[in-house]
Structure 1
Amino acid sequence: MLPILQADLLKVKRKWFWLLVFLGPFGVIALQGVNYGVRYDWIMQNYPDQWGTLIQFVNMFVCPALLLGMAILASQIASIEHKQTSWKQLLALPVRRRDVFISKFLITAMMIGLSSILLFIGTIVLGVVLGFGWDFSMVAIMENSFYPFLAGIPVLALQLWMSIVSKNQAGPLAIGIFAAVFSTYAYEAPDWLIWKWPLMFPGKDPLPFVGLGLLVGFLIVFAGVLDFKRRDIA
């Protein structure tokens, strides 16, 4: 597994993927910077809980940005092999197909995890710059930054699976973009929809969705591995 991970890291080292990892959280924080810049006085008058309000406003854009980022990163990482038509050469090496699939999943998850860390840091920086001081709930900001990622692991696994088995990336990307748009209206959707799980519902315990995300994510990765081992990838 380690040599495959190292090889995949080298493949993405000089790609623009890392810029996307930064742009996702930066875009979410920048939107709230503009929001507060335009409506600062009104927000301060109507929302006395400064940090709580900031976290809630940031959360509005976390889910769609996360799902869109998962779709694009999964597609681009799979496209490295598709564009170079190197799947057959890669799978002809003395490596396990399971390890190839899992390596690409881990690389993509690592990138999304890094985006979550940047979102966590950016939320704190924005609040301090806005003059809210340092009296904030570290746990609340961590939940807002990392829980959506953990709850969204099934979506990441599914997007990667579709991107690997599909030579034409238009389909997986279209599904990912639709899911990102759909998530903004998914509060009333059934709880079994995996694209709803990254949403952080006000006043609702997010831990069940995080637990489901980890469990179902593992099952989808397992199913993807089984399919990848049996499928002829061109």
Structure 2
Amino acid sequence: MLPILQADLLKVKRKWFWLLVFLGPFGVIGLQVVNYGVRYEWITSRTDDQWATLIQSVNMFVAPALLLGMAILASQIASIEHKETAWKQLLALPVKRRDVYISKFIITSGMIFISALLLCIGTVVLGIGLGFGWNFSVSDILKNSFYPFFAALPVLALQLWMSIVQKNQAGPLAIGIFGAVFSTYAHLAPNWLIWKWPLLYPGKDPLPYVGLGVLVGAVILLAGVMDFRRRDVA
């Protein structure tokens, strides 16, 4: 597994993927910079808990940005092998198909995790820069940054599965973009829809969805591995 991970990291290093890792969280924070820059007095006059308002404002864009980032990264990482027609060469090596597949998932999820960490840091920096002080809830900021990540793991596993088995990435990307847009309205959708799970909104206990995200994500990942092991990938 380790040599495969190192090879995948080297492939990713030569691409622009890391730009996307930084662009996602900075884009979300940048939107709030504009939001507060235009409506600072109105927003701050509505409540005494400025940090809670900031976290809630950031959260509005976390789910769609997260799901879109997952779709793009999964597609691009799979495209490295598709474009270079390297699947057969890679799988001809003395490596396990399972390890090849899981390596792609680890790299992709690791990048998204870094984005969540950057979002966490960016939220703190923005709040302090806006003059809200240091009296913020660390747990609330961590939940806002990382709960959606764990709850969205089924979507990541599904996007990676589709991206690997399909050479034409139009389909997986279209589904990913639709899912990201759909998530902005998904609070009214049935609870079983995995695109709803990353949403955090008042009155919803996120922990069950975080647990389900990890569990269902593992199941979809296992299904993808089993399918990849018997599939002839061109």
What TM-score, normalized by structure 2, do the two folds share?
Answer: 0.99
Who is 2:134 aligned against?
134
Who is 1:213 aligned against?
213
- Encode CA deviations 1:15-74: one digit per residue, 9 max, x unaligned: 100000000000000000100000000011112210000000000000000000000000
Q: 1:229 and 2:205 equivalent?
A: no
Alignment of 1:78-97 (within 5 A): 78-97=78-97
CA distance in 2: counterparts of 1:22 and 1:59, whole angstroms: 17
Alignment of 1:49-88 (within 5 A): 49-88=49-88
Who is 1:171 aligned against?
171
Q: CA deviation at 1:202?
A: 1.4
CA distance in 2: counterparts of 1:31 and 1:201, whole angstroms: 19
- Encode CA deviations 1:115-150: one digit per residue, 9 max, x unaligned: 000000000000000000000000000000000000
What RMSD over aligned residues (CA atoms) do the two structures have, in Å? 0.5
Task: Tell me which amino acid in the other structure corresponds to 2:192.
Answer: W
Q: CA deviation at 1:204?
A: 2.0
Task: Tell me which amino acid in the other structure corresponds to 1:50.
Answer: Q
CA distance in 1: counterparts of 2:203 and 2:171, whole angstroms: 36
Which secondary structure state, in structure 1, belongs to the residue aligned with residue 194 of structure 2?
Answer: coil
What TM-score, normalized by structure 1, do the two folds share?
Answer: 0.99
Which secondary structure state, in structure 2, belongs to the residue aligned with residue 149 of structure 1?
Answer: helix
CA distance in 2: counterparts of 1:201 and 1:44, whole angstroms: 20
Q: CA deviation at 1:14?
A: 1.8
- Encode CA deviations 1:93-112: one digit per residue, 9 max, x unaligned: 00000000000000000000
CA distance in 2: counterparts of 1:21 and 1:177, whole angstroms: 17
Who is 2:117 aligned against?
117
Q: 1:203 and 2:203 equivalent?
A: yes
Task: Tell me which amino acid in the other structure corresponds to 2:231.
Answer: R
CA distance in 2: counterparts of 1:84 and 1:158, whole angstroms: 23
Q: What are the ranges of 5 or more consecutive residues in structure 1 without an aligned counterpart?
A: none
CA distance in 1: counterparts of 2:184 and 2:48, whole angstroms: 25
Q: What are the ranges of 5 or more consecutive residues in structure 2 without an aligned counterpart?
A: none
Give % identity: 78
CA distance in 1: counterparts of 2:163 and 2:14, whole angstroms: 21
Which secondary structure state, in structure 1, belongs to the residue aligned with residue 199 of structure 2?
Answer: coil
- Encode CA deviations 1:138-194: one digit per residue, 9 max, x unaligned: 000000000000000000000000000000000000000000000000000000000
Task: Tell me which amino acid in the other structure corresponds to 1:49.
Answer: D
Which secondary structure state, in structure 2, belongs to the residue aligned with residue 201 of structure 1?
Answer: coil
Task: Tell me which amino acid in the other structure corresponds to 2:135.
Answer: D
Who is 2:185 aligned against?
185
CA distance in 1: counterparts of 2:69 and 2:96, whole angstroms: 28
CA distance in 2: counterparts of 1:47 and 1:107, whole angstroms: 41
Who is 2:99 aligned against?
99
CA distance in 2: counterparts of 1:6 and 1:57, whole angstroms: 38
CA distance in 1: counterparts of 2:78 and 2:49, whole angstroms: 44
